[in-house]
Amino acid sequence: MKLNKKALATLSAGHLVTDVNQGALPALLPFFKEALNLSYTMSGVIVLSSNLTSSIIQPAFGHLSDRRPIGWLIPLAPFIACLGLSISGLVSHYSLLLLCVVLTGIGIASFHPEGFKTAYFFTGDKKVTGMSIFAVGGNLGIAIGPMVAMTLVTSFGLKGTMGLIAPGILIGIILLFNMSMFSTTVESAHKEAKEEMRKPLTRDQKRSFSLLVSVATLRAWTQFGMATYIPFYYINYLKGNPMHAGKLVSTFLLAGAMGTLLGAPLADRWGHKKFLSTTLALSCPLLLLFYRSSGPMTFVFLAISGMVLISTFALTTVMGQALLPQNLGMASGMMVGFTMSAGGLGVTLLGMIADTWGVPMAVKSIFALPLIAFVLSLLVKYPLEESTLRLEKT
């Protein structure tokens, strides 16, 4: 089967709208903090509430997706994600804000397993290159989310978050009209994969997949930590311009989206595990260079850091699917939903560090995470001969 660019681009658009909310939330935290008089730890719990919702529910959606296709979630989930965050600016109580954030998390959680599984069947032979087309939509969504949020809030106040509902409605309609293209291919592939689903997981599969999940979680912790604490560092600590902080976050994440596209063919050419370990090893010194830089070079080093760190987003998903070919939905849910959401726990821990030792210490703590991930990546046994054969059969 050849790469289907139309299907992947349409799914990628849905991915973009869904993850705009994921990118917008950290940028909104300083405004929520001021409006509701929150501590740094309470602000971290907001991210944790969204991300833990995704981490608990997303693998469950992946499991359901392996049992039977639930494609109707593809058009519905982006709308739910946008609905939750759009009404967050209207609430006046912390508990109601958490409920809005949880609703957004449910929308994000329900989209990713089915979306990544559906995209898998349209990627052709070069899995990472094909998956990167779908994945970059999410990267772009997270990247432009801060600027979208900053623009709406600085123009209309916190109530400006209501503007987020419009793209949710639009993409829901577009995806709904393309459901026949997705469902036909997925249902056919799902029937062929049923025999593989009955085969038990080997010890090597379980061990390597667990290590890969840990690596991706640390990468997500780094990504969300940077996206969350750049605004706190430049707005609250340095008393800088909120728009400048928003531009820095978007620079980091947009460069990451570019890295996803540029890194995918390199990973297919050089080898998946080698590319993963190399980028993790480079991320720490690049982030340190960003922290020590000033002026235009701040943007340069931040962009390079984002490009290198996030370039493996599609790669780790494909590696996870290759390790668990009989559970593509579960693999997608774990590699995307669980790992990205578990980063919220790290953001909460960073909040505790910021409350105790200050925001600069919280930022510096982030820089050690890619090194730990690098060490763990060396322990991943990949590819596994048995799972590779199964992948080829599907």
Average pLDDT, the chain: 85
Please provide the DSSP assignment of 209-267 as one string: HHHHHHHHHHHHHHHHHHHHHHHIIIIIIS---HHHHHHHHHHHHHHHHHHHHHHHHHH
41-55, 60-74, 271-285, 371-385: range with highest mean pLDDT:
271-285
User: Alpha helix (H) ranges present in the chain?
Assistant: 5-36, 40-67, 73-86, 94-120, 127-156, 165-177, 179-192, 194-197, 203-231, 242-270, 272-292, 296-310, 313-323, 328-332, 339-357, 359-366, 369-378, 385-393
Cβ neighbors of 285 (< 8 A, separation 6 or more) are none
Q: Are 31 and 158 in contact (CB under 8 A)?
A: yes
Q: What is the pLDDT of residues 312-341, one digit of tens each?
A: 988 999 999 889 887 888 888 888 878 876
Percentage of the chain lying above the pLDDT 90 cut:
40
Residue 325 is predicted with a pLDDT of 83
Give the per-residue pLDDT at 10. Answer: 94
Domain spans of the chain, in order of start: 5-393
Whether the predicted pLDDT of 237 surpasses 70: no
Question: According to the per-residue pLDDT averaged within each range, which of 228-232, 269-273, 297-301, 304-308 is highest?
Answer: 304-308
- pLDDT band at residue 273 under the 50/70/90 scheme: very high
Which CATH superfamily does the domain covering 5-393 fall into?
A: MFS general substrate transporter like domains (1.20.1250.20)
Q: Is the model's pLDDT at 149 over the cut of 70?
A: yes
More confident residue, 81 or 54: 81
Point out the least confidently predicted range of 17-26, 199-208, 228-237, 375-384: 228-237
Q: Is 60 exceeded by the pLDDT of residue 24? A: yes
63-67, 141-145, 303-307: least confident range: 63-67
Write down the residue that tokens 């799914």 correspond to: 11
